[in-house]
Amino acid sequence: MAMMPGIAACCVDATGITALSPCRTRAPPRRAAFFRRRMISAAAMTAPEKAEVLRSLDGWAETNLLPLLKPVERSWQPHDLLPDSSSPGFREAVDELRARAREIPDDYYVCLVGNMVTEEALPTYHAALNSFVGYDSPSSADAWARWSREWTAEENRHGDLLNRYLYLCGRVDLRRVEQTIHHLIAAGMRLAAGGCPYRGFIYTAFQERATAISHGNTARRAAALGDASLARVCGAIAGDERRHEAAYTRVVAELFRRTPDAAVRALGYMMRERILMPAHHMFDGRDAELFRHYAAVAHGLGVYTTADYAGLVEFFVERWGVAGLGYGLTGEGRRAQEYVCRLPERVRRMDARRLQTQTQPQRVPFSWVFDRQVELQL
């Protein structure tokens, strides 16, 4: 899981929404009263009751989640994508890697380091995932626990791969980067889920899709800069994240199918509360606005932008059938539906206004690249 920095600048709150949503709802059939009672009951569910719904899906998870994991024997490992330290040609391979790295600008490395730092805070994400369904046993054999452990094992390779590449390339101050990782893991993260597992899985689905976009864009950027090996590094991580996104998207889709009112209210809550990125608290010991500066560089380079975020919300609204939810929604559920359906267009309008009033670019030093200055626009 990596970061989606564009949200830091483009998420919006609930103020100012007065018009009706463009979403359309179906006419209620004769069984609407039954479904309305069912949806109201679901909307009143407590966080522990929602966790129990998830635990009841263990058989569903066995069939729909676990197949998305890859066996260890068929999984890439960081060693596969970097120079082989046991090879007689290791030094020459590293020299070639460093020669390619010298041609890549600092703004790219700021984005790559930011992604790596976020990946390295995996212990925090593993603990959060387990909390969604109330598991704390490291040896449980049920599907959710197996998914959690194997997802973590797959994710663990991402930080390892990027960390080793950055060590070999010689372009970054690795001690400052390591201090940033240390600070981030110690600081934890603000999930804004309020103990609700529905909100937690929505958060994770958004994160995984945004991560796939971010790593995919760093891969394309590396290829455009002439470094096919680095493009393969970023592309391998992006491929994993796409599988993980598919898994968490399925989880939330099943929650929408079983308890749509509770699910749409959870989605509306997360959108209104603003999803803070996992690395929001990143700190290198110097720059108190490090995340904001990193996010601005990523936006400017096209690694993750406001347009990406708007498209992300649009994707999930369609994938989870939010616009088609009709009979059975409570008043709060309908308001959440309207808010979420209108959010992508509102984000795009805000971004257009921002572009009309943006300030002159400024140059900010990043300790990650030995205090060299990088251009960004806040």
The rounded distance, in Å, linking the Cα atoms of 340 and 55 is 27
**Both structure tokens of 85:** 């330290």
177, 171 in Cβ contact below 8 A?
no
Q: Give catalytic status of residue 211 as yes or no.
A: yes
Catalytic residue among 106, 107, 119, 245: 119
Max CA pair span of the chain: 76
- From residue 289, give the alpha-carbon distance in Å to each of 286, 292, 295, 361, 365: 9, 5, 10, 16, 12
Nearest to 108 by CA among 288, 230, 280: 230
Q: Give catalytic status of residue 155 as yes or no.
A: yes
Catalytic residue among 76, 126, 178, 182: 76
41, 122 in Cβ contact below 8 A?
no
Burial class (CB in 10 A: 0-12, 13-18, 19+), 18: exposed
155, 125 in Cβ contact below 8 A?
yes
**Both structure tokens of 201:** 């899985």
The region, left, alpha or beta by phi > 0 then psi within -120 to 50, assigned to residue 190 is beta
Catalytic residue among 118, 124, 244, 308: 244
112, 158 in Cβ contact below 8 A?
no
244, 151 in Cβ contact below 8 A?
yes
Task: Find out whether 158 is annotated in a ligand binding site.
Answer: yes
Catalytic residue among 120, 155, 245, 338: 155
Task: Find out whether 241 is annotated in a ligand binding site.
Answer: yes
Q: Give catalytic status of residue 76 as yes or no.
A: yes
317, 309 in Cβ contact below 8 A?
no
Catalytic residue among 227, 241, 287, 351: 241
Catalytic residue among 118, 124, 204, 211: 211
Q: Give catalytic status of residue 240 as yes or no.
A: yes
Of how many residues is the chain composed?
A: 378
Catalytic residue among 118, 124, 158, 218: 158
Task: Find out whether 155 is annotated in a ligand binding site.
Answer: yes
Q: Give catalytic status of residue 96 as yes or no.
A: no
Axis crossing angle, helix 143-169 with helix 122-133, rounded to the nearest 10? 170
Q: Give catalytic status of residue 154 as yes or no.
A: no
Catalytic residue among 208, 227, 254, 261: 208
The rounded distance, in Å, linking the Cα atoms of 360 and 378 is 9
Task: Find out whether 92 is annotated in a ligand binding site.
Answer: no
Angle of CA points 229, 156, 139, to nearest 5°: 150
DSSP letter, residue 56: T
Task: Find out whether 280 is annotated in a ligand binding site.
Answer: no
Binding residues: 119, 155, 158, 208, 241, 244
Q: What are the catalytic residues? A: 76, 119, 155, 158, 208, 211, 240-241, 244
Binding residues for Fe cation: 119, 155, 158, 208, 241, 244
